[in-house]
A = this chain, B = another copy of it.
């Protein structure tokens, strides 16, 4: 039987999200039915709800940082049982319609089915996300959330967490590595927690020192204001890896100058304008500018297990779903420490 889901949807690029009731599919044998308890608010949700990437289909229920509890499983499901704490991230299927399947890199492959504003494998049913009280997802795209982690603060791990965990792992971050994190927001504060738990020496580069105390408390060794030009002299050639969590226009070549020989700067966001990279920033030092986007299901589970082991969750501000439009405005002003999480108990 299909489940009736209650949530909040965008119905138009310029209107606030409003209550919306819709059907979740009748579970297939390989599906897991999840009662959504918490849903994180990612900046992407705003881009999508407001059609800033030009591909919005309405009504749209955003949300891809989903934490909940299993309420039913299909007959072929082996990894989950009723009552398990589980999560769903940015996609709910992958390599759909592709001849080649690559489950180490499925997030980069064609045929990815996004958790919302996407189309199911049938090519016609719209996917709807986590700003709702239930979801039905194929077992292979459901993640186990360690029982020792609070569900509410685990929700942001499903997108923000893996988005930064993936490059930290890919570039072998660990003891002896010096890593800079540009930006001390949702992604940034989790980078500090996860990167320092990996044993790396973490430096935060933020516009001001307003969150310095938090940064050091969460595990950063050093914290610098990038509005102070002397920061770039002091830290020239200092880092093996720089993770850029901001999409603002910054002085890219100045940041590239902070890399050691063989160092890499990784973009996680999509700045609006092209990045003017001077070859002199890369060639004399074998430096790289790279991109990274979320992570594979395998990496996401590895990240959750890592966070379970180290007791890492997001710093959150919990809200009722009726506050979602206000929360969007506050996200745009970076006025949140450090991630909004919607408490789905607020859907009455």
Write the residues of chain A forming the contact surface with B, with a CB cutoff of 8 angstroms. 102, 105, 108-109, 170, 253, 261-262, 264, 267-271, 274-293
Question: Which single residue of chain B is at the shortest CB-CB distance from A269?
Answer: B279
Q: Which residues of B contact A275 (CB under 8 A)?
A: 276-279
Copies of this chain, tallied across the complex: 2
The smallest beta-carbon distance between A60 and chain B, in angstroms, is: 21
Q: Which residues of B contact A282 (CB under 8 A)?
A: 267, 289-291
Starting from the known contacts A109-B261, A271-B279, A282-B291, 20 additional A-B residue pairs (CB-CB under 8 Å) come to A105-B262, A108-B284, A170-B286, A267-B282, A267-B283, A270-B283, A274-B276, A274-B277, A274-B278, A275-B278, A279-B291, A281-B291, A282-B290, A284-B291, A285-B291, A286-B290, A286-B291, A287-B290, A288-B289, A288-B290
Q: Which residues of B contact A290 (CB under 8 A)?
A: 282, 286-289
Bound: A286/B294 CA distance, A: 10
Does the CB pair B279–A286 fall under 8 Å?
no
Question: Which single residue of chain B is at the shortest CB-CB distance from A106?
Answer: B261
Does the CB pair A293–B283 fall under 8 Å?
yes
Does the CB pair B292–A283 fall under 8 Å?
yes
Sample of 13 A–B contacts (CB below 8 Å): A102-B261, A105-B261, A253-B274, A269-B283, A275-B279, A282-B291, A283-B291, A283-B293, A284-B293, A285-B293, A286-B291, A289-B289, A289-B290
Q: Which residues of B contact A276 (CB under 8 A)?
A: 274-277
Of B271, B288, B292, which is within 8 A of A264 by CB? B288
Q: Which residues of B contact A285 (CB under 8 A)?
A: 108, 291, 293
Does the CB pair A286–B277 fall under 8 Å?
no
Does the CB pair A279–B267 fall under 8 Å?
yes
Does the CB pair A261–B291 fall under 8 Å?
no
The smallest beta-carbon distance between A258 and chain B, in angstroms, is: 15
Bound: A262/B287 CA distance, A: 16
The smallest beta-carbon distance between A193 and chain B, in angstroms, is: 22
Of B269, B286, B291, which is within 8 A of A293 by CB? B286
Bound: A275/B275 CA distance, A: 8
Q: Which residues of B contact A267 (CB under 8 A)?
A: 279, 282-283
Does the CB pair B288–A108 fall under 8 Å?
no
The smallest beta-carbon distance between A246 and chain B, in angstroms, is: 12
Bound: A262/B105 CA distance, A: 9
Bound: A291/B279 CA distance, A: 7
Bound: A285/B107 CA distance, A: 8
Q: Which residues of B contact A264 (CB under 8 A)?
A: 288
Question: Which single residue of chain B is at the shortest CB-CB distance from A105?
Answer: B261
Bound: A278/B275 CA distance, A: 6
Question: Which single residue of chain B is at the shortest CB-CB distance from A256?
Answer: B291
Does the CB pair A288–B286 fall under 8 Å?
no
Q: Which residues of B contact A261 (CB under 8 A)?
A: 102, 105, 108-109
The smallest beta-carbon distance between A265 and chain B, in angstroms, is: 10
User: Which 5 residue pairs across A and B have the least CB separation, nearest first?
Assistant: A282-B291, A283-B291, A274-B276, A288-B290, A270-B279
Bound: A283/B108 CA distance, A: 9
